[in-house]
């Protein structure tokens, strides 16, 4: 029986979809059977980040309204056999789905997968309620900015009212030098404000944008900072205890020389 995890944030643009795609990829790399559900109906993105847009035939609304079987709507990933996507509809809106509809769907998927990751839309309205309905656990994504921490706090308050395990936190887009200079909230501040367990941090990395642009989740790359962060998160989800990645940047003399010469 699989576990359904909703990935949410309240605020938009903090990296829910990217996080969903990458945690899914990282779990698939560990040979887990993973299904990603995009519940951002009307504004679907997850398929784009995974590079699966061209393969979509049916979507979640087709399944809920009985126009096709659930199996027919699932899109198999081009890299892994064990990673599937249930895409959102682009032409409907969020009010056409009910929380019960999503819950039924997730329950139907659970026996076939180890993990079901539900990508939640921004906001706290109908779309959020739909996404949370089927989940057993929640991951809250925030960035080290005050506005997104405020919204994460709000979302955690709402999640506490649901029948879920206490949510876990992922802090996205960390910039070491800005945290050091006090222009960004630091990790400890955020964790102590939100008082939830930290699942992982993800360094701000151009490779994430580059990878999304090409439809290849960054977690697939072997050695970029962000991909290591995502893979660490997936290992923590699997129950391993992995220490947080050190934020310190390389300080070797060659790096400095390269920097001076504009090579890095």
CB of 108 to other proteins, least distance (A): 33
**With respect to other proteins, which residue has the nearer C-beta, 22 or 143?**
143
> In angstroms, rounded to a whole number, what is the distance separating the alpha carbons of residues 131 and 134?
7
Binding-site member from 188, 195, 254, 259 for other proteins (CB under 8 A): 195
Residues 197-236 binding other proteins (CB under 8 A) are none
Count interface residues toward other proteins (CB under 8 A): 11
**With respect to other proteins, which residue has the nearer C-beta, 6 or 190?**
190
**With respect to other proteins, which residue has the nearer C-beta, 183 or 206?**
183
CB of 154 to other proteins, least distance (A): 4
- Is 147 an interacting residue with respect to other proteins (CB under 8 A)? no
Binding-site member from 65, 67, 108, 157 for other proteins (CB under 8 A): 157
SS3 per residue for the chain: CCEEEEEECCCCCCCHHHHHHHHHHHHHHCCCCEEEEECCCCCCCHHHHHCCHHHCCCCHHHHHCCCCCHHHHCEECCCCCCEEEECCCCCCCHHHCCHHHHHHHHHHHHHHCCEEEEECCCCCCHHHHHHHHCCCEEEEEECCCHHHHHHHHHHHHHHHCCCCCCCEEEEEEECHHHHHCCCCCCHHHHHHHHCCEEEEEEECCHHHHHHHHCCCCHHHCCCCHHHHHHHHHHHHHCCCCCCCCCCCCCCCHHHHHHHHCCCC
- Is 188 an interacting residue with respect to other proteins (CB under 8 A)? no
- Is 166 an interacting residue with respect to other proteins (CB under 8 A)? no
- Is 103 an interacting residue with respect to other proteins (CB under 8 A)? no
Binding-site member from 151, 201, 216, 230 for other proteins (CB under 8 A): 151
**With respect to other proteins, which residue has the nearer C-beta, 154 or 259?**
154
Binding-site member from 5, 109, 138, 156 for other proteins (CB under 8 A): 156
Q: State the residues that interact with other proteins by CB under 8 A.
A: 150-151, 153-154, 156-158, 160, 193-195
């Amino acid at each position: 029986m699989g576990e359904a995890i909703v990935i949410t944030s309240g605020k938009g643009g903090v990296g829910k979809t990217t996080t969903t795609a990458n945690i899914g990829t990282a779990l698939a790399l560990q040979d887990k059977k993973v299904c990603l559900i995009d519940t951002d109906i009307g504004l679907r993105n997850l398929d784009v980040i995974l590079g699966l847009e061209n393969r979509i035939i049916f979507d979640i609304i087709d399944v809920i309204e009985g126009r096709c079987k659930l199996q027919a709507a699932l899109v198999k990933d081009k890299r892994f056999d064990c990673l599937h996507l249930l895409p959102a509809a682009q032409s409907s809106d969020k009010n056409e789905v009910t929380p019960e509809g999503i819950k039924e769907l997730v329950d139907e998927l659970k026996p076939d997968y180890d993990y079901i990751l539900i990508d939640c839309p921004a906001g706290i309205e109908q779309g959020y309620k739909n996404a949370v309905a089927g989940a057993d656990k929640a991951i809250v994504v925030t960035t080290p900015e005050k506005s997104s921490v405020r919204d994460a706090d709000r979302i955690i308050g709402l999640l506490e009212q649901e029948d879920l395990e206490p949510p876990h936190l992922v802090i996205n887009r960390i910039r070491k030098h800005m945290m050091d200079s006090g222009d960004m909230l630091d990790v400890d501040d955020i964790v102590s404000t939100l008082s939830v367990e930290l699942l992982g941090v993800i360094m701000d990395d151009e490779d994430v944008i580059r990878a999304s642009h090409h439809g290849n989740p960054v977690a697939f790359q072997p050695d970029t900072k962000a991909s290591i962060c995502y893979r660490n998160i997936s290992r923590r989800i699997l129950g391993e205890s992995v220490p947080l990645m050190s934020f310190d940047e390389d300080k070797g003399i060659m790096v400095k020389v390269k920097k001076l010469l504009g090579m890095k």
